[in-house]
Amino acid sequence: MSLSKLNTPLPDQFPRSSGVLMSVTSLPAPYGIGDIGLGARDFIDKLASAKQRYWQVLPLCPTGYADSPYQGLSSFAGNTNLISLDDLVANDWLTAAELANHTPFDPELVDYGTVISWHETQLQLAYKRFEAEPVNGKHHLAFEAWCADNSGWLDDFALFIALKEHYNLVPWTQWATAEAMRVPKALDAARHALGGRIAEHRFRQWLFFWQWMALKQYANDKGVRMIGDIPIFVGHDSCDVWVNRELFDLNDDGSPRFIAGVPPDSFSKTGQRWGNPLYLWDKHQATGYTWWIKRVDAALGMFDLVRIDHFRGFDLYWQIPASDDTAVNGLWLPGPGRALFDAFGAARVSRIIAEDLGNDLGGAIDLRDDLNLPGMIVLQFAFSGTETERKRFDPKNPASNFIVYTGTHDNSTTVGWWANTTPAERKVVASFTNSYEIQEPNWLLIRLGMSYKAHTFIVPMQDLLGLDDRARMNKPSVTGGNWSWRCTREQLDSPLWDRLRAMTEQCNRASQ
Protein backbone atom coordinates (compact mmCIF):
# COMPACT_ATOMS: atom_id res chain seq x y z
CA MET A 1 0.00 0.00 0.00
CA SER A 2 1.33 3.46 -0.85
CA LEU A 3 2.00 6.02 1.85
CA SER A 4 -0.62 8.35 0.42
CA LYS A 5 -3.33 5.80 1.13
CA LEU A 6 -2.49 5.89 4.84
CA ASN A 7 -3.75 9.44 5.36
CA THR A 8 -6.72 8.17 7.33
CA PRO A 9 -8.55 9.92 10.19
CA LEU A 10 -6.52 9.81 13.38
CA PRO A 11 -7.60 7.23 15.93
CA ASP A 12 -8.78 8.69 19.24
CA GLN A 13 -5.68 7.48 21.08
CA PHE A 14 -3.39 9.34 18.69
CA PRO A 15 -4.22 13.04 18.68
CA ARG A 16 -1.61 15.36 17.20
CA SER A 17 1.06 15.39 19.91
CA SER A 18 4.71 14.91 20.80
CA GLY A 19 6.98 13.36 23.40
CA VAL A 20 10.50 12.44 24.45
CA LEU A 21 12.46 9.19 24.23
CA MET A 22 14.54 8.70 27.36
CA SER A 23 15.82 5.47 28.91
CA VAL A 24 15.07 5.21 32.62
CA THR A 25 18.71 4.22 33.12
CA SER A 26 19.74 7.63 31.73
CA LEU A 27 17.88 9.73 34.29
CA PRO A 28 19.81 11.73 36.88
CA ALA A 29 19.91 9.80 40.15
CA PRO A 30 22.40 9.62 43.02
CA TYR A 31 23.35 5.93 42.81
CA GLY A 32 24.98 5.44 39.43
CA ILE A 33 21.89 4.71 37.33
CA GLY A 34 18.54 6.32 36.70
CA ASP A 35 15.68 4.95 38.76
CA ILE A 36 11.91 5.15 39.04
CA GLY A 37 11.85 7.53 42.00
CA LEU A 38 12.24 11.28 42.41
CA GLY A 39 14.30 11.79 39.25
CA ALA A 40 11.65 10.08 37.14
CA ARG A 41 8.88 12.15 38.71
CA ASP A 42 10.87 15.31 38.06
CA PHE A 43 11.29 14.28 34.41
CA ILE A 44 7.54 13.77 34.12
CA ASP A 45 6.99 17.24 35.58
CA LYS A 46 9.25 18.70 32.89
CA LEU A 47 7.43 16.82 30.14
CA ALA A 48 4.12 18.12 31.41
CA SER A 49 5.44 21.68 31.64
CA ALA A 50 6.53 21.45 27.99
CA LYS A 51 3.09 20.15 26.94
CA GLN A 52 4.46 16.74 25.95
CA ARG A 53 2.02 13.85 25.79
CA TYR A 54 4.48 10.91 25.80
CA TRP A 55 7.47 9.52 27.60
CA GLN A 56 8.90 6.61 25.60
CA VAL A 57 11.29 4.28 27.41
CA LEU A 58 13.47 1.33 26.46
CA PRO A 59 12.62 -2.16 27.76
CA LEU A 60 12.56 -2.32 31.58
CA CYS A 61 13.45 -6.01 31.83
CA PRO A 62 16.34 -7.35 33.94
CA THR A 63 19.35 -7.31 31.64
CA GLY A 64 21.81 -10.05 30.88
CA TYR A 65 24.37 -10.17 28.09
CA ALA A 66 26.21 -6.84 27.57
CA ASP A 67 23.62 -5.07 29.77
CA SER A 68 21.31 -4.85 26.77
CA PRO A 69 17.59 -4.38 27.44
CA TYR A 70 17.05 -6.33 24.21
CA GLN A 71 18.71 -9.42 25.73
CA GLY A 72 16.58 -9.55 28.86
CA LEU A 73 16.47 -12.30 31.45
CA SER A 74 12.65 -12.22 31.40
CA SER A 75 9.84 -10.70 29.36
CA PHE A 76 7.73 -10.31 32.49
CA ALA A 77 10.09 -9.23 35.28
CA GLY A 78 11.39 -5.74 36.01
CA ASN A 79 14.96 -4.51 36.28
CA THR A 80 15.41 -4.18 40.02
CA ASN A 81 18.48 -1.96 39.61
CA LEU A 82 15.90 0.71 38.72
CA ILE A 83 14.20 0.52 42.12
CA SER A 84 14.35 3.88 43.88
CA LEU A 85 16.39 3.24 46.99
CA ASP A 86 15.54 6.68 48.37
CA ASP A 87 11.86 5.78 48.30
CA LEU A 88 12.59 2.77 50.54
CA VAL A 89 13.73 5.08 53.34
CA ALA A 90 10.12 6.07 54.03
CA ASN A 91 9.35 2.44 54.91
CA ASP A 92 12.40 2.19 57.21
CA TRP A 93 13.91 -0.47 54.99
CA LEU A 94 16.97 1.71 54.37
CA THR A 95 18.35 4.85 56.00
CA ALA A 96 19.61 8.05 54.42
CA ALA A 97 22.96 7.55 56.15
CA GLU A 98 23.39 4.11 54.60
CA LEU A 99 22.60 5.44 51.14
CA ALA A 100 25.06 8.29 51.54
CA ASN A 101 27.88 5.83 52.26
CA HIS A 102 29.22 5.05 48.79
CA THR A 103 32.10 5.97 46.56
CA PRO A 104 31.25 8.58 43.90
CA PHE A 105 29.33 7.35 40.87
CA ASP A 106 29.91 8.74 37.38
CA PRO A 107 27.06 11.19 36.68
CA GLU A 108 27.44 10.81 32.90
CA LEU A 109 27.85 7.05 32.44
CA VAL A 110 26.43 3.88 34.00
CA ASP A 111 29.21 1.60 35.25
CA TYR A 112 27.04 -1.50 35.39
CA GLY A 113 29.43 -3.66 37.37
CA THR A 114 29.76 -1.15 40.19
CA VAL A 115 26.11 -0.15 40.11
CA ILE A 116 24.77 -3.71 40.24
CA SER A 117 27.09 -4.66 43.10
CA TRP A 118 26.15 -1.65 45.22
CA HIS A 119 22.43 -1.98 44.59
CA GLU A 120 22.66 -5.66 45.50
CA THR A 121 23.99 -4.74 48.93
CA GLN A 122 21.23 -2.20 49.56
CA LEU A 123 18.43 -4.47 48.36
CA GLN A 124 19.67 -7.29 50.57
CA LEU A 125 19.53 -4.97 53.55
CA ALA A 126 16.06 -3.74 52.65
CA TYR A 127 14.80 -7.31 52.43
CA LYS A 128 16.17 -8.22 55.87
CA ARG A 129 14.26 -5.33 57.41
CA PHE A 130 11.11 -6.18 55.49
CA GLU A 131 11.41 -9.80 56.60
CA ALA A 132 11.62 -8.68 60.23
CA GLU A 133 8.24 -6.94 60.04
CA PRO A 134 5.09 -8.71 61.32
CA VAL A 135 3.80 -11.21 58.78
CA ASN A 136 0.27 -9.87 59.26
CA GLY A 137 1.36 -6.27 58.70
CA LYS A 138 0.18 -4.25 55.72
CA HIS A 139 3.40 -4.66 53.76
CA HIS A 140 3.52 -8.44 54.08
CA LEU A 141 -0.16 -8.77 53.24
CA ALA A 142 0.26 -6.59 50.15
CA PHE A 143 3.36 -8.54 49.16
CA GLU A 144 1.68 -11.93 49.50
CA ALA A 145 -1.38 -10.78 47.55
CA TRP A 146 0.79 -9.44 44.73
CA CYS A 147 2.85 -12.66 44.61
CA ALA A 148 -0.34 -14.70 44.33
CA ASP A 149 -1.63 -12.50 41.51
CA ASN A 150 1.64 -12.80 39.58
CA SER A 151 2.59 -16.39 40.36
CA GLY A 152 2.19 -17.39 36.71
CA TRP A 153 5.54 -15.81 35.85
CA LEU A 154 6.99 -14.81 39.22
CA ASP A 155 7.60 -18.26 40.67
CA ASP A 156 9.55 -19.47 37.66
CA PHE A 157 11.53 -16.24 37.42
CA ALA A 158 12.53 -16.17 41.09
CA LEU A 159 13.70 -19.79 40.83
CA PHE A 160 15.54 -19.07 37.58
CA ILE A 161 17.47 -16.13 39.08
CA ALA A 162 18.25 -18.03 42.28
CA LEU A 163 19.63 -20.93 40.23
CA LYS A 164 21.56 -18.56 38.01
CA GLU A 165 23.22 -17.05 41.08
CA HIS A 166 23.91 -20.53 42.42
CA TYR A 167 25.78 -21.33 39.21
CA ASN A 168 27.76 -18.07 39.25
CA LEU A 169 25.60 -16.45 36.54
CA VAL A 170 26.53 -18.84 33.72
CA PRO A 171 23.84 -19.50 31.07
CA TRP A 172 21.18 -22.02 32.06
CA THR A 173 22.45 -24.51 29.47
CA GLN A 174 25.60 -24.85 31.62
CA TRP A 175 23.75 -25.79 34.80
CA ALA A 176 23.40 -29.36 35.98
CA THR A 177 21.38 -31.19 33.34
CA ALA A 178 18.44 -31.97 35.61
CA GLU A 179 17.94 -28.32 36.50
CA ALA A 180 18.64 -27.05 33.00
CA MET A 181 16.06 -29.46 31.58
CA ARG A 182 13.61 -28.73 34.42
CA VAL A 183 13.31 -32.23 35.87
CA PRO A 184 10.56 -31.82 38.51
CA LYS A 185 12.44 -33.50 41.38
CA ALA A 186 15.51 -31.38 40.73
CA LEU A 187 13.42 -28.19 40.71
CA ASP A 188 11.69 -29.18 43.95
CA ALA A 189 15.08 -29.72 45.56
CA ALA A 190 16.29 -26.34 44.28
CA ARG A 191 13.21 -24.59 45.65
CA HIS A 192 13.94 -26.07 49.06
CA ALA A 193 17.68 -25.33 49.02
CA LEU A 194 17.33 -21.80 47.62
CA GLY A 195 14.07 -20.84 49.31
CA GLY A 196 15.43 -17.77 51.06
CA ARG A 197 16.93 -16.32 47.93
CA ILE A 198 13.78 -17.10 45.92
CA ALA A 199 11.68 -15.18 48.45
CA GLU A 200 14.06 -12.24 48.25
CA HIS A 201 13.76 -12.06 44.47
CA ARG A 202 9.99 -12.08 44.78
CA PHE A 203 10.31 -9.15 47.17
CA ARG A 204 12.46 -7.20 44.72
CA GLN A 205 9.98 -7.71 41.91
CA TRP A 206 7.18 -6.53 44.17
CA LEU A 207 9.15 -3.39 44.97
CA PHE A 208 9.82 -2.70 41.30
CA PHE A 209 6.21 -3.05 40.22
CA TRP A 210 4.88 -1.21 43.26
CA GLN A 211 7.10 1.76 42.40
CA TRP A 212 6.58 1.53 38.64
CA MET A 213 2.79 1.49 38.80
CA ALA A 214 2.87 4.47 41.18
CA LEU A 215 5.12 6.28 38.70
CA LYS A 216 2.82 5.48 35.79
CA GLN A 217 -0.14 6.80 37.76
CA TYR A 218 1.84 9.96 38.54
CA ALA A 219 2.56 10.41 34.82
CA ASN A 220 -1.03 9.80 33.78
CA ASP A 221 -2.29 12.28 36.39
CA LYS A 222 0.03 14.86 34.80
CA GLY A 223 -1.33 14.10 31.33
CA VAL A 224 1.74 12.10 30.28
CA ARG A 225 1.30 8.67 28.73
CA MET A 226 3.98 5.98 28.86
CA ILE A 227 5.20 4.15 25.76
CA GLY A 228 6.98 0.87 26.42
CA ASP A 229 9.03 -1.36 24.16
CA ILE A 230 8.63 -5.09 23.48
CA PRO A 231 11.62 -6.68 21.74
CA ILE A 232 10.26 -9.16 19.21
CA PHE A 233 12.81 -11.77 20.34
CA VAL A 234 13.92 -12.79 23.83
CA GLY A 235 17.37 -13.55 25.15
CA HIS A 236 18.48 -17.19 24.99
CA ASP A 237 19.74 -17.04 28.56
CA SER A 238 16.33 -16.10 29.86
CA CYS A 239 13.60 -17.52 32.00
CA ASP A 240 11.32 -17.35 28.95
CA VAL A 241 13.38 -19.90 27.02
CA TRP A 242 14.28 -22.03 30.05
CA VAL A 243 10.60 -22.50 30.94
CA ASN A 244 9.26 -22.76 27.37
CA ARG A 245 11.90 -24.70 25.45
CA GLU A 246 9.26 -26.30 23.24
CA LEU A 247 8.37 -22.87 21.78
CA PHE A 248 11.91 -22.13 20.55
CA ASP A 249 14.16 -23.62 17.88
CA LEU A 250 16.69 -25.37 20.13
CA ASN A 251 18.96 -28.39 20.11
CA ASP A 252 18.36 -31.19 22.60
CA ASP A 253 20.81 -29.60 25.05
CA GLY A 254 18.91 -26.30 24.94
CA SER A 255 21.38 -24.44 22.74
CA PRO A 256 19.90 -22.56 19.76
CA ARG A 257 19.98 -24.22 16.34
CA PHE A 258 19.44 -20.89 14.61
CA ILE A 259 19.49 -17.32 15.84
CA ALA A 260 17.91 -13.97 14.97
CA GLY A 261 19.35 -10.92 13.29
CA VAL A 262 19.16 -9.02 10.04
CA PRO A 263 21.15 -9.24 6.81
CA PRO A 264 23.73 -6.64 5.77
CA ASP A 265 22.24 -3.14 5.78
CA SER A 266 23.13 0.51 6.36
CA PHE A 267 24.08 -0.27 9.98
CA SER A 268 26.48 -3.15 9.24
CA LYS A 269 28.13 -4.65 6.15
CA THR A 270 28.01 -8.12 7.69
CA GLY A 271 24.50 -7.76 9.05
CA GLN A 272 23.47 -7.89 12.67
CA ARG A 273 23.87 -11.17 14.55
CA TRP A 274 21.67 -10.67 17.60
CA GLY A 275 21.99 -14.17 19.01
CA ASN A 276 18.37 -14.52 20.15
CA PRO A 277 16.78 -17.94 19.59
CA LEU A 278 14.03 -18.16 17.00
CA TYR A 279 10.42 -19.07 17.64
CA LEU A 280 8.78 -22.26 16.46
CA TRP A 281 5.74 -20.42 15.20
CA ASP A 282 3.77 -23.57 14.50
CA LYS A 283 4.07 -24.51 18.18
CA HIS A 284 2.88 -21.05 19.23
CA GLN A 285 -0.06 -21.32 16.84
CA ALA A 286 -1.03 -24.67 18.32
CA THR A 287 -1.40 -23.01 21.74
CA GLY A 288 -3.45 -20.12 20.37
CA TYR A 289 -0.37 -17.90 20.87
CA THR A 290 -0.94 -18.07 24.63
CA TRP A 291 2.62 -17.12 25.60
CA TRP A 292 2.59 -14.11 23.30
CA ILE A 293 -0.79 -12.95 24.61
CA LYS A 294 0.51 -13.13 28.18
CA ARG A 295 3.61 -11.23 27.15
CA VAL A 296 1.64 -8.42 25.51
CA ASP A 297 -0.80 -8.28 28.43
CA ALA A 298 2.11 -7.87 30.84
CA ALA A 299 3.46 -4.96 28.80
CA LEU A 300 0.07 -3.30 28.39
CA GLY A 301 -0.38 -3.55 32.14
CA MET A 302 2.76 -1.44 32.56
CA PHE A 303 2.36 1.05 29.71
CA ASP A 304 -0.32 3.01 27.91
CA LEU A 305 1.10 2.02 24.50
CA VAL A 306 3.81 -0.41 23.42
CA ARG A 307 6.17 -0.37 20.48
CA ILE A 308 7.02 -3.85 19.17
CA ASP A 309 10.60 -3.82 17.99
CA HIS A 310 11.47 -5.38 14.60
CA PHE A 311 7.89 -5.64 13.41
CA ARG A 312 9.03 -6.99 10.05
CA GLY A 313 9.87 -10.27 11.79
CA PHE A 314 6.16 -11.06 12.01
CA ASP A 315 6.10 -11.17 8.21
CA LEU A 316 9.58 -12.53 7.46
CA TYR A 317 12.47 -13.17 9.85
CA TRP A 318 16.16 -13.73 9.13
CA GLN A 319 17.34 -17.21 10.19
CA ILE A 320 21.09 -17.40 10.88
CA PRO A 321 22.92 -20.65 11.69
CA ALA A 322 23.97 -20.35 15.33
CA SER A 323 27.49 -21.50 14.41
CA ASP A 324 28.07 -18.56 12.04
CA ASP A 325 30.04 -15.56 13.22
CA THR A 326 28.13 -13.07 11.06
CA ALA A 327 24.59 -12.61 9.76
CA VAL A 328 25.56 -12.86 6.10
CA ASN A 329 24.54 -16.50 5.49
CA GLY A 330 20.94 -16.27 6.55
CA LEU A 331 17.57 -17.15 5.12
CA TRP A 332 14.24 -15.31 5.12
CA LEU A 333 11.43 -17.41 6.58
CA PRO A 334 7.75 -16.59 7.08
CA GLY A 335 6.55 -15.32 10.44
CA PRO A 336 3.05 -15.73 11.90
CA GLY A 337 1.54 -12.83 9.99
CA ARG A 338 -1.95 -11.65 10.78
CA ALA A 339 -2.84 -14.77 12.75
CA LEU A 340 -0.87 -13.59 15.79
CA PHE A 341 -2.60 -10.21 15.85
CA ASP A 342 -6.01 -11.77 15.36
CA ALA A 343 -5.25 -13.81 18.47
CA PHE A 344 -4.38 -10.59 20.32
CA GLY A 345 -7.78 -9.10 19.58
CA ALA A 346 -8.69 -5.55 18.62
CA ALA A 347 -8.32 -4.03 22.10
CA ARG A 348 -4.66 -5.08 22.36
CA VAL A 349 -3.82 -4.25 18.76
CA SER A 350 -5.18 -0.70 19.18
CA ARG A 351 -2.37 0.02 21.68
CA ILE A 352 0.53 -1.29 19.57
CA ILE A 353 3.08 0.71 17.56
CA ALA A 354 4.98 -1.06 14.78
CA GLU A 355 8.75 -0.55 14.57
CA ASP A 356 8.75 -0.99 10.81
CA LEU A 357 12.28 0.10 9.93
CA GLY A 358 14.58 -1.63 7.45
CA ASN A 359 14.95 -2.24 3.74
CA ASP A 360 12.62 -4.17 1.43
CA LEU A 361 9.87 -4.59 4.04
CA GLY A 362 7.37 -5.94 1.55
CA GLY A 363 4.63 -7.82 3.35
CA ALA A 364 5.43 -6.19 6.69
CA ILE A 365 4.13 -2.87 5.39
CA ASP A 366 0.97 -4.55 4.13
CA LEU A 367 0.52 -6.23 7.52
CA ARG A 368 1.04 -2.95 9.36
CA ASP A 369 -1.49 -1.18 7.14
CA ASP A 370 -3.99 -4.02 7.34
CA LEU A 371 -3.89 -3.73 11.13
CA ASN A 372 -3.90 0.11 10.96
CA LEU A 373 -0.86 0.26 13.25
CA PRO A 374 1.19 3.43 13.50
CA GLY A 375 4.57 3.03 11.81
CA MET A 376 7.82 4.94 12.30
CA ILE A 377 9.59 7.68 10.35
CA VAL A 378 13.23 8.41 11.21
CA LEU A 379 14.38 11.78 9.91
CA GLN A 380 18.05 10.86 9.64
CA PHE A 381 17.08 8.16 7.14
CA ALA A 382 15.12 10.71 5.12
CA PHE A 383 18.45 12.29 4.16
CA SER A 384 21.16 9.69 4.75
CA GLY A 385 19.38 6.36 4.30
CA THR A 386 18.99 4.14 1.29
CA GLU A 387 17.02 5.32 -1.72
CA THR A 388 14.03 3.34 -0.45
CA GLU A 389 14.30 4.97 2.99
CA ARG A 390 14.65 8.46 1.55
CA LYS A 391 11.53 8.02 -0.51
CA ARG A 392 9.58 6.46 2.33
CA PHE A 393 10.54 9.12 4.89
CA ASP A 394 10.24 12.11 2.57
CA PRO A 395 9.27 15.22 4.60
CA LYS A 396 6.47 15.79 2.08
CA ASN A 397 4.90 12.49 3.14
CA PRO A 398 1.15 13.18 3.51
CA ALA A 399 0.37 10.16 5.69
CA SER A 400 -0.82 10.68 9.26
CA ASN A 401 -0.62 7.27 10.96
CA PHE A 402 3.05 7.50 11.85
CA ILE A 403 5.34 8.47 14.70
CA VAL A 404 8.23 10.67 13.57
CA TYR A 405 11.61 10.48 15.31
CA THR A 406 14.77 12.47 14.70
CA GLY A 407 16.56 9.21 15.53
CA THR A 408 16.22 6.16 17.75
CA HIS A 409 18.38 4.45 20.36
CA ASP A 410 20.19 2.68 17.49
CA ASN A 411 21.09 5.88 15.62
CA SER A 412 23.78 8.46 16.04
CA THR A 413 22.59 11.53 17.88
CA THR A 414 21.47 14.19 15.43
CA VAL A 415 24.55 16.31 16.14
CA GLY A 416 26.73 13.24 15.63
CA TRP A 417 24.86 12.38 12.44
CA TRP A 418 25.19 15.93 11.12
CA ALA A 419 28.95 15.90 11.63
CA ASN A 420 29.16 12.98 9.21
CA THR A 421 26.71 14.11 6.54
CA THR A 422 27.91 14.90 3.04
CA PRO A 423 27.55 18.32 1.40
CA ALA A 424 24.87 16.84 -0.85
CA GLU A 425 22.88 15.58 2.16
CA ARG A 426 23.16 18.95 3.88
CA LYS A 427 21.91 20.65 0.76
CA VAL A 428 18.81 18.47 0.75
CA VAL A 429 18.18 19.22 4.44
CA ALA A 430 18.50 22.91 3.70
CA SER A 431 16.06 22.71 0.80
CA PHE A 432 13.39 21.11 2.97
CA THR A 433 13.86 23.45 5.91
CA ASN A 434 14.76 26.70 4.11
CA SER A 435 17.77 26.93 6.41
CA TYR A 436 21.12 27.39 4.73
CA GLU A 437 23.32 28.41 7.67
CA ILE A 438 22.61 25.58 10.05
CA GLN A 439 23.99 26.14 13.54
CA GLU A 440 21.75 23.77 15.52
CA PRO A 441 21.01 20.69 13.39
CA ASN A 442 19.24 19.03 16.30
CA TRP A 443 16.65 21.78 16.66
CA LEU A 444 16.33 22.01 12.89
CA LEU A 445 15.28 18.36 12.73
CA ILE A 446 13.05 18.77 15.78
CA ARG A 447 11.23 21.58 14.03
CA LEU A 448 11.01 19.51 10.84
CA GLY A 449 9.66 16.50 12.71
CA MET A 450 7.12 18.64 14.53
CA SER A 451 5.86 19.93 11.18
CA TYR A 452 5.12 16.50 9.66
CA LYS A 453 1.55 15.48 8.94
CA ALA A 454 2.09 12.43 11.15
CA HIS A 455 0.07 12.44 14.36
CA THR A 456 3.02 11.97 16.75
CA PHE A 457 6.56 13.28 17.02
CA ILE A 458 9.10 11.94 19.52
CA VAL A 459 12.61 13.24 20.09
CA PRO A 460 15.44 11.45 21.96
CA MET A 461 16.63 13.39 25.00
CA GLN A 462 20.14 13.55 23.54
CA ASP A 463 18.80 15.55 20.60
CA LEU A 464 16.99 18.01 22.84
CA LEU A 465 20.34 18.59 24.56
CA GLY A 466 22.29 18.84 21.29
CA LEU A 467 24.80 16.16 22.29
CA ASP A 468 27.27 14.48 19.97
CA ASP A 469 27.90 10.77 19.50
CA ARG A 470 29.53 10.40 22.90
CA ALA A 471 25.92 10.32 24.12
CA ARG A 472 24.82 7.66 21.65
CA MET A 473 22.80 4.92 23.36
CA ASN A 474 23.60 1.93 21.16
CA LYS A 475 25.76 1.06 18.19
CA PRO A 476 24.28 -2.04 16.51
CA SER A 477 26.68 -4.98 16.08
CA VAL A 478 29.06 -3.51 18.69
CA THR A 479 28.78 -5.38 21.99
CA GLY A 480 30.74 -3.08 24.31
CA GLY A 481 30.13 0.43 25.60
CA ASN A 482 26.41 0.60 24.89
CA TRP A 483 23.42 1.55 27.07
CA SER A 484 25.54 3.64 29.44
CA TRP A 485 24.74 7.30 28.67
CA ARG A 486 23.32 9.35 31.54
CA CYS A 487 21.76 12.80 31.60
CA THR A 488 23.12 15.05 34.35
CA ARG A 489 20.98 17.10 36.67
CA GLU A 490 22.39 20.31 35.15
CA GLN A 491 21.43 19.17 31.65
CA LEU A 492 17.92 18.22 32.69
CA ASP A 493 17.44 21.59 34.39
CA SER A 494 18.45 23.58 31.29
CA PRO A 495 16.01 26.06 29.64
CA LEU A 496 15.32 23.66 26.75
CA TRP A 497 11.85 22.82 28.12
CA ASP A 498 10.53 26.33 27.47
CA ARG A 499 11.88 26.16 23.95
CA LEU A 500 10.31 22.73 23.41
CA ARG A 501 6.97 23.95 24.72
CA ALA A 502 6.95 26.96 22.41
CA MET A 503 7.74 24.81 19.37
CA THR A 504 5.15 22.24 20.42
CA GLU A 505 2.48 24.90 20.66
CA GLN A 506 3.49 26.50 17.35
CA CYS A 507 3.16 23.12 15.61
CA ASN A 508 -0.22 22.40 17.20
CA ARG A 509 1.05 19.41 19.18
CA ALA A 510 0.55 20.70 22.73
CA SER A 511 -0.95 18.22 25.17
CA GLN A 512 -4.12 19.52 26.80
List active site positions.
309, 355, 410
Q: Which of 389, 365, 385, 384 is nearest to 375 (CA)?
A: 365
**Is the CB of residue 311 less than 8 Å from the CB of residue 235?**
no
**CA dist., res. 23 & res. 110, Å (int):** 12
Q: Is 101 helix (H, G, I), strand (E, B) or coil?
A: coil
Positive or negative torsion for Cα 10, 15, 19, 23: negative
**CA dist., res. 20 & res. 47, Å (int):** 8
CA 175 centroid distance within chain: 29
**Is the CB of residue 43 less than 8 Å from the CB of residue 78?**
no
Query: Residue 226: which residues within 8 A CB-CB, separation 6 or more?
Result: 54, 55, 56, 57, 216, 219, 220, 302, 303, 304, 305
DSSP per-residue letters across 281-331 = HHHHHHTTSHHHHHHHHHHHHH-SEEEES-GGGGTEEEEEETT-SSSSS-E
**CA dist., res. 61 & res. 69, Å (int):** 6
